[in-house]
Amino acid sequence: MEESLANDVVERLRGRSIFAHVNRRVGVYNVGVRVVIPDGREAIWDNDGAAGLEAMVLRDGVLVGFVPQIPDSDDFDAAAIANVIASTDYDAPPPPSKPSNPTSGPRQLPTPATAVPAAKRWASRLRRKH
């Protein structure tokens, strides 16, 4: 996200009474938007320099959640980005992940061999050697 776009998004969010700041990474030209969530968490939006809009949700600097990348968000303007950030439900569970191979059914685990007590195994080994 460019700094001018981040500044515009922050101003729009503040106009909605959302506590937001421009978030700059030290030594890197990546700029994002930091939103403070009332329960002590914060969301860092689009600070990685990749295309698309996504967020990390942190508490005391520790990752506690995420907002997955919004489809087709790489062409959003400041108003659209502010709308997405303002309407995000940070308490919603993450969407279910897609199965890695949707054509195959559930994997069948091999049936375990019946356990034989150790005493019987040793006894049969001793008998075979005589």
pLDDT digits (tens, 9 = 90+) for 50-99: 778 999 999 998 999 888 888 888 888 999 999 999 998 888 776 666 66
CA-to-CA separations, 127 to 78, 115, 124, in angstroms, rounded: 82, 20, 5
Phi, psi of 59 (to 5 degrees): -130, 120
Q: Are strands 31-36 and 42-45 parallel, antiparallel or unpaired?
A: antiparallel
- Mean pLDDT estimate for the chain: 80
pLDDT of 114 over the 60 cut: no
